[in-house]
Chains A and B, each alone.
Chain A
Amino acid sequence: MILHLLKKDISRKFREPFGFLILTSIPLVFSLLIGMIFGPGSGKEPSLKVKILIADRDSSFVSEMFCNVFGGSRMNDLFSMEKTDSLSGRLRMEKGEASALLVIPDGFGDAVLDRKRTSLVLIKNPSEAFAPKIAEQTVSILCEASERLVRIASSPIQVIRKGIREDSEFSEVEIALLAIQIRRLISKVEDILIPPQIAIRDEKAVSQHEEKQPSSVMYTHIISGFLTFFMLFVIEALARDLFQEQDMHTLSRLRTGPVSLAQFVASKQVFLFLMGLLSYSMVWLMAGVFFGLKVPLRIMPVFMAFSVLLLSSLTGIVGLIYSLARTRSQAQEISPALFILFGMLGGAMVSINNLPHFLQGLSVISPVYWGQDGIKILLLRPEDASSVLIHILIFSILTVVFNGAAYLLFYRKFRS
């Protein structure tokens, strides 16, 4: 029976998904924004432009072409390119001045034209999550593009090369002009090539980048704090239509049938929990897609248990507020105030270390504290996953106590 009621609620939600999507997208959009603003450059560079350094040791027209693509007008709003030499480029990368450094080795152009294996070196800024990915993506697309180009236009290219080697008719300027022409050719195919829809094949004929896992430490810090905080708001917003069935008179009608009030209340609580969990999962999914944030597989069971209990205790908190409040509007006024208090104490807005000393001790009463602390441990120190057991225990207790109390209070409330 509860399942039947639940199915009805879920399919009603998905018939009119906009409200829910907007609701869920709040933490989503927020996390993306924060991630983009603070993620790249660790807050030094709030611009979305990807700064790329290119050390061109080859100086062939092929390498010129690569540079031109990054510097060209088409990519201008995404990249800011600067040429450098490999040594000072590396130094600047160490200082974190750019998102990526592309080193084009000597003989790269010839190798491409002779269709021999060669490699590009792409050094990515470890403190950024997003921007280096873009650089990497673009480079690999370029590799593929040039490979195709060489295959298609191999004979004219051979002629040109001969000219270059004999060093007779082609001056530096002419080489540059040729490169530009080729870039034009590329820009014609760019429309097809640049969009990342094109799958990058595993065996890249020309490139073998230096892989480095993009670090998302900063992003993890941010998301762990506000995710719990935001989930409270999401669940609260969902709870607003707890009373909807009373207004629609369907509650009375259900009760004239074989549905008991207990089943009705339980179905609503499960519904809140499931929708909250869905919204929460979507945030993680997005975090994985955009910031490469991944939960290590080996702690996955712990992470899932933690998440489920976190969400069920948040459901309990919201449920308790709504069942305790005398009127709906009272509940809607109390909730945000209480959540913000939880958020403050729990470190969602300011880092707990920056709180006044006497408040720091109080942070343990905030569920947000336990939420963000647990997420941080699981993602940043997965080897300590076992210490999350205390969080899991606390959330289990909160789940039982709060949901139980909310259930009884709702039961009484709807009865009259």
Chain B
Amino acid sequence: MLTVSHVSKRFKDIAAVQDVSFEIRKGEIFGLLGPNGAGKTTTLNMICSLIKPDSGRIELDGMEVTDKNPGLRKKLGVVPQDVALYEEFSAVDNLKFWGGLYGLKGTPLKSRIAEVLSLVGLEERSRDRMKTYSGGMKRRLNLACGMIHNPGLLLLDEPTVGIDPQGRHAMLDMIRRAAKSGTTILYTTHYLDEAESLCDRLCIMDHGRVLATGNQDEIKRIVGENRIFKVTGVFEARNAEEMPGRIPELTLLSLRPNEVLYSLPVRQQTGKLIETLIASGFQIENLSIKEPSLDSVFLKLTGKELRD
């Protein structure tokens, strides 16, 4: 459906996206996961030809996406990170406008409006001006307007930011339902749990680079059956480096002043590691253990935790 190959983009001296490649297959929910500033929005903007990549190529259904190809862009539905709608209009008027833009009119438009309104649960307030909506309602309408024309590929840029837990849950449900009805979805997020529960396949990005791509299992295999140990406290760097020699199968992932990361197979005993640490003069302030998960993958790949 969509192929992104070796795409790069610089803004002056910031390399926002560097040599990014991935492929989205028809009907799947593909997650683009990364912390703030990873280059997710920039990648998305290149896919919908809002900005031109410095190099690389993006193809939708075998055709190159450029700003001179408005017909091809009709297949895309874009839900921007910021709510981008007309506040003077009601939900219905907004949907009418965005639907009309894609050539929908008459009865098909009407029935589609009813459909998406019920999907995002805004039927009751559909005639009120958008101004009077809460932040979460605006975001739901933002989503609805991106799907009004039944796009083949829906690009979602962190749609759940700023929504309460129930709202988030509901929105993820909406997205799942949209996917069930045949829409391919590119879902951008910095929430691991969302990526884990929603996405069929994933691409993990940081500092404009792709760190890993694959389905949930493939990604988790990166950490293998390993637990990740994050130790903070006072210790000597030399001691921290020598630990892998003292405990079999222990690997050092990263070392910073007062913080060290190790990975240890699940079958090895955790107690042994802690004992050895204390014996080597570690004054442990905090020790966290991550079971194999996206969380630990991320920690392993970037040396940092993904938190909002």
Are both chains from one complex?
yes
Q: With a CB–CB cut-off of 8 A, which chain A residues contact B48?
A: 256
CB distance from B106 to the nearest CB of A (A): 14
Q: Which of A11, A16, A252 has the most CB atoms of chain B within a 10 A radius of its CB? A: A252
User: Is B112 close to A, CB under 8 A?
Assistant: no
Q: With a CB–CB cut-off of 8 A, which chain A residues contact B76?
A: 256-257
Q: With a CB–CB cut-off of 8 A, which chain B residues contact A8?
A: 86, 97
Q: With a CB–CB cut-off of 8 A, which chain A residues contact B281?
A: none
Does B88 lie within 8 Å of A248, measured CB to CB? Answer: no
CB distance from B70 to the nearest CB of A (A): 4
List chain B positions with a Cβ less than 8 A from chain A.
Answer: 48-50, 67, 70-71, 73-74, 76, 78, 80, 82-89, 93, 97-98, 100-103, 129
A4 and B100 in contact (CB under 8 A), knowing A12-B89, A252-B80?
yes
Dominant SS among interface residues on chain B = loop
Instruction: Give chain A interface residues in 55-83, CB to chain B under 8 Å.
Output: none
Q: With a CB–CB cut-off of 8 A, which chain A residues contact B71?
A: 258
Does A257 lie within 8 Å of B74, measured CB to CB? Answer: yes
List chain A positions with a Cβ less than 8 A from chain B.
Answer: 1, 4, 8, 11-12, 15-16, 248-250, 252-260
User: Which of B82, B83, B101 interacts with A257 by CB under 8 Å?
Assistant: B101
Q: With a CB–CB cut-off of 8 A, which chain B residues contact A1?
A: 101
A254 and B88 in contact (CB under 8 A), knowing A249-B82, A260-B70?
no
A257 and B88 in contact (CB under 8 A), knowing A249-B82, A252-B50, A252-B80?
no
Does A258 lie within 8 Å of B89, measured CB to CB? Answer: no
Q: How long is the Cα–Cα vector from A1 to B100 in the complex, in angstroms?
A: 9
Q: How long is the Cα–Cα vector from A33 to B164 in the complex, in angstroms?
A: 56
CB distance from A17 to the nearest CB of B (A): 10
Does B80 lie within 8 Å of A249, measured CB to CB? Answer: yes
Does A257 lie within 8 Å of B102, measured CB to CB? Answer: yes
Does A257 lie within 8 Å of B50, measured CB to CB? Answer: no
Does B88 lie within 8 Å of A12, measured CB to CB? Answer: yes
Q: With a CB–CB cut-off of 8 A, which chain B residues contact A257?
A: 70, 73-74, 76, 78, 98, 101-102
Known: A249-B80, A253-B78, A259-B101. 15 other contacts (CB 8 A): A11-B89, A15-B129, A16-B88, A248-B84, A250-B84, A255-B67, A256-B73, A256-B78, A256-B80, A257-B73, A257-B78, A258-B71, A258-B101, A260-B67, A260-B70
Q: With a CB–CB cut-off of 8 A, which chain B residues contact A255?
A: 50, 67
Residue of B whose beta carbon sits closest to that of A14? B88
A250 and B85 in contact (CB under 8 A), knowing A4-B100, A8-B97?
yes
Q: How long is the Cα–Cα vector from A260 to B71 in the complex, in angstroms?
A: 11
